[in-house]
Amino acid sequence: MIFSTVPIISVIIPVYNGGESFHRCLSSLSKAAASAYEIIVVADGDTDGSWLVAKNFGVTVIRNETNAGPAQARNLGAKLAKGDVLFFVDADVEIYPDTIAQVAIAFQEEAGIDALIGSYDDAPGASNFLSQYKNLFHHYTHQTASSNASTFWGACGAIRRDIFLDIGGFNESYTCIEDIELGYRLKHHGYQIKLYKNIQVKHLKHWGVISLLKAEFFCRALPWTKLILRDRQMINDLNLKLNSRISVILLYLVLAISIISCILPTIFISTYFLLLFLLILNLPVYQFFFQKRGFLFTTKAIAWHWIYYFYSGLAFAIGFANYRIYHPNKKVSY
C-alpha cells in the first residue's frame, strides 16, 4: 500500500538523563520540525531535568515517574501519537534537516513498505577512538547490509502506526534490543522492513572501555543470542553474516591452538595462517577504516574487532548452553 498523499509523521524520542546530547538532538529536530506533525518526548524517570529541556523546545512531553525502559517509553509515545507513521529517534542522535522529509517520501513512494530503518553517518559526534570505532563499524555494517532489512532499529526507525499498534508495539519485557525483537516479530508476520542507507543520523554517544563492553555483552550479545535461539533461526545479515560467524570460529581456533602449543610447540605456526585468513576475511571493513581514519586507527580497530569476535562468541556459547539446559529438545537453524 502506498500513501496517496505525503504521510503525517509523529517523531517519538524516549529519554533518560539525556544531558547535552539530548539538547543537541532536540536542536536538530527543531530544524526539521516543519516536516513533522508532532514531536513527542517521553521522559522516562529522568533526574537531570531532561523533561524540562524538552518542554522548553515546545514539544509534547510525557513523564514517567520511574525509569521503565525504552520499550515502555516508546509505547507510551506511540499511543499518544496521531501520525500515519511513527518515527523513533534515540535521544543521543542528531538528525539532518531533511531526515523527516526523507522518511515521509519513502513511505509515500515505495509500495509495500511497512517499516524502515536508517543508518549512522560516518562522522560520529564523540572524538575518542572507541566512539569513532564503534560508530564507524555500525555505519559500515548498515551500509553493506541487505536493503531488505531483517530487523528494526530504534535509533532511526519508522513504522506505520496501524501496523505498530496491531502487532502490539515493543515488547516491554525487554530492557534492551527491544527494537530487534520487534523487527523479528514484524518479519514473522510477513511485514516488509526496508533499510534506507541514505537516511542517516549522527550518533553522539561517548563510548569508554567499560561502557562499551558492558553494553555489547550484557545488553546486546547475550539477549540477542537468546532471541536467535527463541526464533530458532540465524539470519545472514548485519552482525550475523556468515563471514562474521566464521571469524569467531577462526579466532577461537587461534586461542585453542595457542594453548595446546604449550604442549606441542610445532603446531603454533598454524596460528599465523589462521590469523592471515582472519585478516583476509575481514579485509573490506579494515579497508573502510583505513580510508576513513588512516593506518594507526585501523591497527587499533583490528584489535578491537577481534575482541568483539571474542565476546560475541563467548556470549553465544553461554546463551546456547543456557538454552540447551532449559530447552533440550528444540533445534536451531543456522
Q: What is the pLDDT of residues 213-246, one digit of tens each?
A: 999 999 998 888 888 887 766 665 666 788 899 9
Stretch 45-69: mean pLDDT: 95
Q: What is the reported pLDDT for 334?
A: 46
Mean pLDDT is lowest, of 9-13, 181-185, 267-271, 278-282, for: 267-271
Residue 110 clears pLDDT 60, i.e. is over it = yes
Residue type, 105: I
Residue type, 108: Q
The answer to whether the beta carbons of residues 8 and 107 sit under 8 Å apart is no
Residue 29 clears pLDDT 80, i.e. is over it = yes
- Which residue bears the cell 585453542? 256
The answer to whether the beta carbons of residues 108 and 6 sit under 8 Å apart is yes
- Residue 152 contacts by C-beta under 8 Å, 6 or more apart in sequence? 115, 117, 159, 179, 180, 182, 183, 186, 193
If we measure between CA atoms, which residue out of 309, 181, 160 comes closest to residue 240? 309
Report the alpha-carbon distance of residue 51 to residue 46 in Å, rounded.
7
Report the alpha-carbon distance of residue 84 to residue 162 in Å, rounded.
8
The answer to whether the beta carbons of residues 158 and 87 sit under 8 Å apart is yes
* Residue 1 pLDDT level (bands cut at 50, 70, 90): low
Estimate to the nearest angstrom the gap between the alpha carbon of 84 and the chain centroid: 24
Share of the chain above pLDDT 70, in %: 94
Share of the chain above pLDDT 90, in %: 77
DSSP H or E stretch at residue 51: helix 50-56
Q: What is the reported pLDDT for 166?
A: 96
Superfamily of domain 9-207: Spore Coat Polysaccharide Biosynthesis Protein SpsA; Chain A (3.90.550.10)
The answer to whether the beta carbons of residues 60 and 40 sit under 8 Å apart is yes
Residue 293 clears pLDDT 90, i.e. is over it = yes
What does pTM read for this prediction?
0.92
Residue 174 clears pLDDT 60, i.e. is over it = yes
Q: How do the domains of the chain map onto residue ranges?
A: 9-207, 238-326
Average pLDDT, the chain: 92
Stretch 60-81: mean pLDDT: 96
